[in-house]
Amino acid sequence: MRLAIFAALTASALCLAQNPGDFKPAASNVLNAQYPRVDSNSRVEIRFKAPDAAKVRVNFWSGPKAEMQKQPDGYWTFTTPPMAPGLHYYTVIVDGAEVSDPGSTAYFGGSKWASAVEVPEAGETYYLPQNVPHGQVREVWYHSKVAGAWRHALVYTPPAYDTRLKERYPVLYLQHGGGEDESGWTRQGKANFILDNLIAAGKAKPMIVVMAHGYARRAGQSTPDPRSGPPGSPEMRKAMQDMLSAFEDDVVQALIPFIDSTFRTIPDREHRAMAGLSMGGMQTFHVTFNHLDLFSYIGGFSGAANVFAAGNDRLDVRTAFNGAMSDPAAFAKRVHLLWIGVGTNEPERMKQGIEKLHASLVEANIQHVFSQSPGTDHEWQTWRRNLLDFAPRLFQPATQRPAP
């Protein structure tokens, strides 16, 4: 056994030694920034200038948290072990102060602007711009009587939207996660490129995708803060419920009417879908199951809904979601797709919640799709893969829908 382990470590070290100089600037860097860098073994090299600092640490949110080493030129450096593919948020802690890396593009995540590094997935181009027709991402503002304010959304229109003026399109409402905003699905998630490539390959129907601001409040109220108490506390649950309720009404009463009156949509439930990641998945299940007259496709990426009673590991389909699934056959006719997914390396609490929901749906004979993203955490590569599987299943004739 020891010889086998030694041989494996030696082979790994040899592999890394064979490529000591193939680090290249990350695709996520700002213009001409040489660091952070990524090599062919998916290692990331960070270099940060802080000549007067006594201690510098790097904090990858889904990766290493480590001391950086000071170099004679005043730069601090650190090289990670091989990392999973995808976009990894990180910050640098300089003598106790958390800062962003000026070499990285800033992304809104964790309720703040943070650095991130893109680690390519070998052989995969589905989320990269390719030589195919491209859609557009448009910025829109709509007035919401629910919020008593103007609200913001991004809207992807498919290729040829502006030339095939008589064509109307189905709509996917696609929500971001907690701590992120409506820019996440295009800036971090590359959703527009994923859709461009799927549509060009004939794997997905051309569709409009609406990415709305997920934090909602009612007119005259402040935006509820889901972090107002410890996880699971009454304060946190109330804040989340208030925000869910306000968001639901905003989507139904303001956003959908605005989209249907502004864009060439097919404005019926058969051509309307909703999905979201993490918090956005919870919002999706809350909105869609309360309004099955408006939606017929539902997706939860690393998030769905807290439908388990205390101490209960199974879903009671007789009561969950207003009893919408009490008749599995009737539900299958009404909801064309119920999709849930999770990364295999996600935190156990999140992973187990999705796995328990899947097991409950299987036990109750509820037709659905369950997908696991191998080797990825609660991070964007999980959700890119989720969208890659989810989008081709939307708006297809019943005889052409991929099997669950």
Q: What is the pLDDT of residues 154-180, one digit of tens each?
A: 999 999 999 999 999 999 999 999 999
- Read off the pLDDT band of 317 (50, 70, 90): confident
pLDDT surpassing 60 at residue 2 = no
Structural domain contains residue 130: no
Structural domain contains residue 75: yes
Do 94 and 200 fall into the same domain?
A: no
Of 119, 148, 167, which marks where a domain is finished?
119
Q: How many CB atoms lie within 10 A of CB 209?
A: 27
pTM metric for this prediction: 0.90
Judge residue 9's burial from the number of C-beta atoms within 10 Å of its C-beta, 0-12 exposed, 13-18 middle, 19 or more buried.
exposed
**Which pLDDT score is estimated for 314?**
73
Do 146 and 254 fall into the same domain?
A: yes
Do 275 and 317 fall into the same domain?
A: yes
Tokens standing for 126?
Answer: 């589905």
Task: Write the single-letter amino acid at 295.
Answer: F
Q: Across the chain, what does the average pLDDT equal?
A: 90
Of 85, 119, 153, which marks where a domain is finished?
119
**How far apart (Å, rounded) are the C-alpha atoms in residues 211 and 175?**
6
**How far apart (Å, rounded) are the C-alpha atoms in residues 274 and 103?**
35
Q: What is the pLDDT of residues 139-152, one digit of tens each?
A: 999 999 999 999 99
Domain coverage including residue 109:
20-119
pLDDT surpassing 80 at residue 377 = yes
Structural domain contains residue 291: yes
Q: What is the pLDDT of residues 199-208, one digit of tens each?
A: 999 999 999 9
86 DSSP β-pair partners:
119
Do 40 and 151 fall into the same domain?
A: no
- Read off the pLDDT band of 11 (50, 70, 90): very low
Do 154 and 271 fall into the same domain?
A: yes
pLDDT surpassing 50 at residue 309 = no
Q: What is the pLDDT of residues 74-99, one digit of tens each?
A: 999 999 999 999 999 999 999 999 99
Please report, for the domain that includes residue 152, its CATH number: 3.40.50.1820
Do 105 and 150 fall into the same domain?
A: no
Structural domain contains residue 394: yes
Do 165 and 305 fall into the same domain?
A: yes
67 DSSP β-pair partners:
57
**Which pLDDT score is estimated for 4?**
39
Q: How many domains does the chain have?
A: 2
Do 58 and 159 fall into the same domain?
A: no
Do 263 and 351 fall into the same domain?
A: yes
Do 112 and 159 fall into the same domain?
A: no
**How far apart (Å, rounded) are the C-alpha atoms in residues 3 and 124?**
35
Query: Average pLDDT of 40-62?
Result: 96
Least confident of 18-22, 122-126, 284-288, 317-321: 18-22
Structural domain contains residue 4: no
pLDDT surpassing 70 at residue 119 = yes
**Which pLDDT score is estimated for 224?**
63
Least Cα distance to 117 among 57, 194, 43, 176 occurs for 43
Least confident of 3-7, 16-20, 28-32, 342-346: 3-7
Tokens standing for 24?
Answer: 């290249």
Of 91, 119, 147, which marks where a domain is finished?
119
Do 250 and 351 fall into the same domain?
A: yes
